[in-house]
Amino acid sequence: MGTWDTGHFDNDSAADFSWKVDEAPEAEREAVLREVLTFAAETSDYLDSDDGAFAVAAAALVASQCPGGEAVTTAYGPKKPLPVLTPELRPLAVRALDGVLGENSELHELWDESGDKAWAAGIARLKEVLSAATG
């Protein structure tokens, strides 16, 4: 995994996901996010690091539209604007992040082995924003 920092888009997989979002027609961008969030939320198998990174990036995009969410301003995020996302993506994003933080997640395993706590703190912040916006 090509990773250069702990941010939600600071790895090759998330940057590739941003490109995929940008390449989708505007009306299909929400579906791109929903697909990766659903996969991470519902998989009972081992969640590989790419799928985990996609889910984190998608959750960050959903959270950016929530009260208290941070705008995605990194050069590695999508360049094209997202439509207003449906609120039903918020609890799905929380479940996806739970999958990323689960015991069957390669991404979590890699960050845990690194000893760097900033990544997990960033995920916790995303979950707080998404959970608060869910109600």
pLDDT (0 to 100) of residue 1? 45
pLDDT-based confidence at residue 85 (cuts at 50, 70, 90): very high
pLDDT-based confidence at residue 3 (cuts at 50, 70, 90): low
* Other Cβ atoms within 10 Å of 75 Cβ, number: 8
Extents of the domains making up the chain: 12-134
Supply the mean pLDDT for the chain: 94
